[in-house]
Structure 1
Amino acid sequence: MSLEFKYYKINDIGEVVSGGTPSTSKNEYWYGDIGWITPKDLSSYDDIYISRGERNISSEGLNNSSAKLVPKNTVLMTSRAPIGYIAIANNELSTNQGFKSLICNEKICHYKYFYYWLKLNIKYIINNSNGSTFKEISGGTFKNLELSLPSLNEQKAISSVLWTIDEKISVLKRINKNLDELCHSLFKYYFIDFIPFCDDDFIDSDIGEIPKEWSITTVGNILDCKLGGTPSRSNESYWGGSIAWINSGKVNDFRIIEPSEYITEKGLKKSATKLLPAKTTVIAITGATLGQISLLEIDSCANQSVIGIIPNINYPYEFVYPLISSILIDLLKHQTGGAQQHINKNNVESFKIICPPAEIISEYKTIVSPIYSKISDNCFEIEKLQKLRDTLLPKLMSGEIDVSKINCDLKIIIRKIYIKSSKLFLWRYLSENQNYIKNTKSNETLLKSRTIYQINKFLAKFNARYRYYRQ
């Protein structure tokens, strides 16, 4: 079945709305209950819906500025600095002047379909923008952009398929966020709050009181820290090979599962970059990404703005990653520089940290290792789903794939994801570790701890979701 399209201008399918910024000199215009979104709020935002930004404005601020209140399901698109961040309003909210948003006429254009149309046509929009240093698309130009739409029912069917995949991605991301928080809570429980060891003798140290059998060392004394590098851009033989290479921007990713670029064996040998193994903790040490931290899920090189901290048999990544996360704030106090603040490799290597006995680290690893493995599996599943969505997007929108032949039940799919990726995993994890936990000296405190409370709260949340999607 081929789609029949009708041509429109964006102005024909809804109301284009710009935003504004209340005066920052008037306190009464700010800190109200109206969400106010800026391009910065979407810069590292990977959800579809957004409810609020970093700051809110008041009714007085809204009424005394060019900011406008837009309804739920308005499609938001940044129109400068940069063009092309896209989200959907989850409730009434406002934006600053860096947006061109569309309140869709639902008799002509479904808001989800327009969201995906924007995703597919960002290059077209950018090509119609103006500006040399910073590109911007004006309201007049945006309103007059042409698009073709199938019937409303076909729009809903197409967007439903893509939406289902995005829902699966969102579910997995939320699961990973909760699991990651659980891992950090367990690390804090063991190595910051020392709850399992509260009855032990403590001694003073350079970083405060620690259990008597523990010691203080430095990052560089127990872990290998590698500074990255960049092969010469002027030598084409250094680039386009099969060796993964990341820049500091990739450190913004929750986990790094694909590189920024690829370099050749020659590029690796003829530059300062180093090949870092999977499960290396990476830190961005300069510029806008200073202080960002991530975990490599692939073997990869890095540029000179990234330090890799490589785990080893005595100090596994399950210990190293949350350890480095826990010291970041204090580590960043060593930053220097004027316009370009930075820390260096020596700052990292010389930073003092706790050094627990090997058996304690082993006990902790046994508990958290399956959680970290599940996070990794979910990341690669998310990557597969994103590639599937991006492959389907142009084919569905053009009619190349007949949407009527795709069997897509959102509730069934989401139900399966919740069962497979959360509920059963966590119950199995707790069941498998129950006897182990009972045999540790920390059991009595652990069962009363906030960690177990968080696990139970997490399970309750997913049980509620599961019951909904089972209906």
Structure 2
Amino acid sequence: MEVRIGDSIECNPTVKLVKGNEYPLIDIDKITVGRKLVTNKDTIVYEKQSGCKFQNGDTLMARITPCLENGKMAMASIPDKGIGSTELFVFRGKKGITDNDFVYYFLKQSYIRNLAANSMTGASGRQRADLKFIKKIKFDLPTLPIQQKIASTLSAYDRLIENNTRRIRLLEQMAENLYKEWFVRFRFPEHEKVEMINGLPKGWKRTKLIKNIKTSSGGTPSRNKGEYYKNGTIPWIKTGELQDCILINTEECITEDAVNNSSAKLFPKGTLLMAMYGVNVGKLGISEIEATCNQACCVFTPKQIDYKYYLFHYLKSIREYLLSISFGAAQQNLSQELIKSIRVLFPDEKTNISFVKEVEPLFKEISIIQQQNQLLTRQRDLLLPRLMSGKLEVKS
């Protein structure tokens, strides 16, 4: 049966929030491309401020470029109701007509995203999709039992991805616990044999970061030149992708011409990065690929000793301090000069080498699991259009 999106799916449905009550907050940067579910770590008191309103099970889809084209979309996984970015559309299944999970997978299709992207209006680089246009998109709607079967098949992949993600969180916690044991409680191997001088192990030094680490940043190729991004093969990292994680791929890639005609620079595999601007200020990432980045990323390069694993945890542990020294009224900023002047407690080389031997296998295991998730995501996304088009039949 051919229907329009607006007739079969609720678009930006009304959700009533109570002034003064606290609700889950989900911003667009919390949505991870390829992950079905998004949940909140933050909450906000509702004071009738602007923002999309949604409930558990609703699909949240980015409406701004390039987030829409990149597939920033997820199902809200919250106790009840929530509030989010103004840059999100909200979609929900219509009772008796469309299944919530089916709505999510239907909207994930690249051809739907491409149609929505074609409706964009506004200034270059800040264009937004037109919901009225999206509502008019026609498609063949299967029966409700078939919808549920399609959603169930695809959800099996997403459950595996979620299980793997939980394994990653456990490995991350193991690495963090080891860091605290060694460098907060000073219970590193053979610590009882080490002389303490002024409260620090002998050979450890508290000094400015610039003493042991070089810093730099990248650049953004002109968004007015689509050829810099079309068919790009060089990974390009943005601050939204820095989520205290390992990076095995990027949302966008750029071309060699883009690198040659911008401030973007290639840096090697194993590089540590930190967000300097915006809502992600202070967030970190270790790139497992040779890549470039935008100008809002600070790139850390070792001068002699590679402290990346130690520095990853150290900078994460002092994030509140980093936020307190950041500046800017509209958004928080950390300049490279500020970062260079941060005083860091650096362990001696022997202890750092021992720490690397302990935590590097954990980070490698995380990378392997992330690659498994990447494969599962690819298989799911190959299956998606075949199920939706009916080329691969499912039985109710």
TM-score when normalising by structure 2? 0.77
Residue identity matched to 1:54: D
Contact 1:311 1:320 in 2 (8 A): no
Query: In structure 2, which of residues 15, 19, 36 is the aligned counterpart of residue 48 of structure 1?
Result: 36
Label 1:53 to 1:277 Cα distance change in 2 as closer, same or farther (>3 A).
closer
Please tell me whether residue 296 in structure 1 is matched to residue 301 in structure 2.
Answer: no
Label 1:401 to 1:249 Cα distance change in 2 as closer, same or farther (>3 A).
same
2:320 is matched with: 329
Q: Quick check: 300-309 or 209-218, which moved more?
A: 209-218
Structure 2, gaps ≥5 residues long: none
Structure 1 residues 308-387: aligned runs within 5 Å: 308-311=299-302, 314-339=305-330, 341-387=332-378
1:160 is matched with: 152
Structure 1 residues 369-448: aligned runs within 5 Å: 369-403=360-394
Residue identity matched to 1:169: I
CA–CA distance in structure 2, aligned partners of residues 256 and 126 of structure 1: 27
CA–CA distance in structure 2, aligned partners of residues 44 and 361 of structure 1: 32
Distance apart, 1:297 and its partner CA? 1.1
Distance apart, 1:279 and its partner CA? 1.3
Label 1:235 to 1:43 Cα distance change in 2 as closer, same or farther (>3 A).
closer
- CA deviations 1:129-170 (Å, max 9, x no partner) are 8888874766x8877764422233332332222111111111
- CA deviations 1:32-51 (Å, max 9, x no partner) are xxxx45552x5413453466
CA–CA distance in structure 1, aligned partners of residues 274 and 304 of structure 2: 21
- CA deviations 1:402-443 (Å, max 9, x no partner) are 446xxxxxxxxxxxxxxxxxxxxxxxxxxxxxxxxxxxxxxx
CA–CA distance in structure 2, aligned partners of residues 123 and 346 of structure 1: 42
Structure 1 residues 73-88: aligned runs within 5 Å: 74-77=57-60, 85-88=73-76
Structure 1 residues 48-67: aligned runs within 5 Å: 48-49=36-37, 54-55=42-43
Label 1:318 to 1:153 Cα distance change in 2 as closer, same or farther (>3 A).
same
Distance apart, 1:255 and its partner CA? 2.7
Label 1:304 to 1:372 Cα distance change in 2 as closer, same or farther (>3 A).
same
1:409 is matched with: none
Root-mean-square deviation over aligned CA pairs: 4.0
Say which structure is richer in helix: 1
Label 1:243 to 1:18 Cα distance change in 2 as closer, same or farther (>3 A).
same
CA–CA distance in structure 2, aligned partners of residues 236 and 111 of structure 1: 35
Structure 1, gaps ≥5 residues long: 1-5, 24-28, 405-471
Residue identity matched to 2:30: S
**What is the SS of the residue equivalent to 1:255?**
strand
Residue identity matched to 2:106: W
Contact 1:113 1:159 in 2 (8 A): yes
Distance apart, 1:370 and its partner CA? 1.2
Q: How many residues are aligned here?
A: 374
Label 1:311 to 1:177 Cα distance change in 2 as closer, same or farther (>3 A).
farther
Label 1:53 to 1:192 Cα distance change in 2 as closer, same or farther (>3 A).
closer
1:283 is matched with: 274
Distance apart, 1:361 and its partner CA? 1.7
**What is the SS of the residue equivalent to 1:195?**
coil
Contact 2:212 2:304 in 1 (8 A): no
1:112 is matched with: 101
Query: In structure 1, which of residues 145, 165, 172 is the aligned counterpart of residue 164 of structure 2?
Result: 172
Contact 1:257 1:380 in 2 (8 A): yes
